Amino acid sequence: MRRSNYDKFPVTNITGEIWVGIEDIISQLQREIVKKDFILVVDCYVGVSLDKLYECLINLHPDLCINTECLMKPENEVRDMTYPYVTDDELFGYRTRLNISDFFDHEKVSAFRKRISSEKGIKIILGCGASWICPDADLLVYGDIARWELQQRFRRHEIKALGVDVRNESPARQYKRGYFCDWQVCDTLKKSIYEKVCYWLDMNIPLTPKMISKDTFMRGLAKKVILANTTGAVFEQIAAMHLGSYSVMTAWIGCISYSFQIYFDFGGYSDMAIGLGKMFGFEFLENFHYPYVSTSVTEFWRRWHISLSTWFREYVYIPLGGNRKGDSRTITNLLIVWMLTGFWHGAAWNFVAWGLYYGIILILEKFVWGQYVEKWPGAVRHIYAMVLILIGWVLFFSPSLGYALKYVGVMFGIGASGLMDKLGWFYLLSNWLIYLMAVLGSSSIGYRLMRNIQRAPGSRVGKYIMTGVMYLVMFALSLAFLVTQSFNPFLYFRF
């Protein structure tokens, strides 16, 4: 059978605050519930599996959990209301002018709103139109789903339409109702509540939902402009000096500055892509997951540039045989993959050496010392991983392989002008706040700190004000840094 060239599942791997699986999502939502009387609204696109979503949310132990379906008009009324748009034709219809409120019984909604305001405890309103029924939520989450997945569920006769059970109808008629009626209504609602949504749920795989926060774009801008550009400026100044004038301290500061620059630069524009993509209705996957908290090089490459690692694994490593043909073939395959990974970044020997360097370390961790490293204390394993990662960045940023070897030598005292010098102390002391922010931003500590600041006021209004002020300050600082800087493109665009 002929296969279509159309990519039905387009994705872009990028970074951001992403929670995968029911346990992680519930843990994050529990952290958001900061008071005993709390309203959680989970609105969702038509076609989202509400049963699976309910099974997920019930783990929050709510005092009240209501599905919006029970507040809708009777099915026969909804069919009569939507008939002018759906029509009897098998294919054609008219784009609806209805909105979400037209599907609900207003007497039921009015009574429910009174019940919500009078009852105490944790209350969850779940389903299409939940944000219209309860506009004053303490936390608003939106469950979304891809159009292609909706079509597959039509074919399997799994999902209902808005207020109507269409599972016994043909997939073509289900799709037509979705296109001319339900999707128009849900798209209009989603656009109207976009600014209020705190978290977005990806419900394409009901048993493995994913959740992302809305704050990602602003954090990405701050990462790029404040952290990446500032640490990059320190690295550029040090790199412009003669290598023989470096102290050990200056060499390490230069290397650490570059490691922060490339992470926040790449991670920053990835975060902005998540935010911008969400504005246009696209879902993006994670590409970084706090790589600098790794305790081994193997773990680092599970967290860094996940899309690149996945591509080479799927299209090079596995076709070569992967680890299915013995240890010697596995080692050969790993060396080939990592040599190509280095060459992918640039046609220079230092990039090839960078790739082989990681290939060799990963082989050694897999077959030689990995089992011993796992027994070390966590802090020691983290230092071990970061030293090897920083040496790798020297190979990456150096103009030649010879320069890289000399730079690594200076880092360990070979050819250095001394252990410390005034210049090294100047860079450290004049940029200590940026380095502190970089350390916090490259770990989950920074995110948890931001969330605690947001929740500090306690009340819902206070939390919204605090969140707005915090991101306004980040945006203002980013603009201030942009005004004082010349053109500074994303670093990773060079590779």
Is 106 designated active site? no
Nearest to 132 by CA among 178, 81, 77, 189: 189
Q: What are phi and psi of 210, to 5 degrees?
A: -125, 145
Q: CA 451 to CA 17: how far, in whole Å?
A: 12
Nearest to 185 by CA among 86, 108, 40: 86
Q: Which two tokens stand for residue 38?
A: 């709390």
Nearest to 349 by CA among 405, 425, 287: 405
Residues near 364 by beta carbon (within 8 Å), at least 6 away in sequence: 370
13 secondary structure, DSSP code: E
Is residue 449 within 8 A of residue 440, CB to CB? The reply is yes
Q: Which two tokens stand for residue 132?
A: 């219209």
Q: Which two tokens stand for residue 142?
A: 């939106």
Q: CA 407 to CA 238: how far, in whole Å?
A: 12
Is residue 83 within 8 A of residue 143, CB to CB? The reply is no
Q: Which of 61, 106, 289, 345 does the annotation list as catalytic?
A: 345
**Count of positions (residues) in the chain:** 495
Is residue 411 within 8 A of residue 255, CB to CB? The reply is yes
Residues near 130 by beta carbon (within 8 Å), at least 6 away in sequence: 41, 42, 43, 44, 68
Helices (H) and strands (E) in the chain, counts: 22, 9
262 secondary structure, DSSP code: H
Is residue 228 within 8 A of residue 435, CB to CB? The reply is no
Catalytic positions, please?
A: 345
